[in-house]
Amino acid sequence: MSMLGQRIVTAVVLLALLVPALLSAESWPFNVLTLLLIAAAGWEWGRLNQAGAPLSLSFGAVLSLACAAALEAGWSARPPLLAWWLAALVWVVGGALALRTGPSLWPQLPKWARWAMGVAALWAAWLAMSHARGIGINFILSVFCLVWVADIAAYFGGRRFGKRKLAPSISPGKSWEGVYSGMVGVFVLALAWRAMESRVTLDSLSLYGHLIERLGLLGGLAALAFLAGMSVVGDLVESLVKRAAGAKDSSRLLPGHGGVLDRVDALLPVFPLSLALLSL
């Protein structure tokens, strides 16, 4: 089967699992599915950071158990706000430092520090995703779509207008023009979504509706531009780690797509940061 065929089949299978879990009246199908995916992502993070096979498997198991413990403690429904702001601090400050230093310095960090950062980022992202599912289908879909539209708009905008390289040592194809195009794409999406939900009764308010209502139109758009930018940071950080490890993909778990981290990297900062902004 061709690479395109593999990508299509894998995408169809993933959607066949995700959509029913997302739309289920019960929360457990979504939680179980995402726990399995986050465990796989933890395993991939260990492999990319020289943990070795047994220890990488242990990372996946420990991460999944930590997420399940948070679920059992009721944090999915009533999460500690400090978790979102700590995640924001790690992603904004740590992400900026990682991108500034580049792939060459990443392996020089102590292994335990790299392992801990990955586990913490994945745990916070899973908890934020589980909480977002509890807020409502419209809300969690709006977060997913923000990342997807930012990525698609950045790709086409970068191909058409890209001249200034964003991080050539990490991802030579990305440009500042692509980042700005992604932000514009998110603005259009947010305004269209906001107009739609003002006319249709939905189960919850979208992320765009929450931010615009709380921060005003300009403040809401500024927050969305920040989130679109952080989706790029998530993508670049994973690319940095792969480049430092000499790996093209985080794994081969998803034929045609690479690994779980390859598919969720941009989501990892956006989910907790979205909830941090909602607490303003």
Residues with Cβ < 8 Å from 22, sequence gap 6 or more? 30, 133, 137, 140, 141
With cut-offs at 50, 70 and 90, classify the pLDDT of residue 130: very high
pLDDT in tens, 26-71: 888 999 999 999 999 999 999 999 888 889 999 899 999 999 999 9
Burial class of residue 97 (count of CB atoms within 10 Å of its CB; 0-12, 13-18, 19+): exposed
Domain boundaries, given as residue ranges, for the chain: 3-278
Give the integer Cα–Cα distance in Å for 180 and 86: 27
Q: Tens digit of pLDDT for each residue in 249-261?
A: 999 888 877 899 9
pLDDT in tens, 72-113: 999 998 999 889 999 999 899 888 877 777 888 888 888 888
Instruction: Give the number of C-alpha atoms closer than 13 A to the C-alpha of residue 31, restricted to the C-beta side.
Output: 20
Neighbours of 249 (CB within 10 A): 15
Q: In 3D, which of 111, 139, 135, 140 has the Cα closest to residue 50?
A: 111
- 147 in the Ramachandran plot: left (φ > 0), alpha (ψ -120 to 50) or beta? alpha
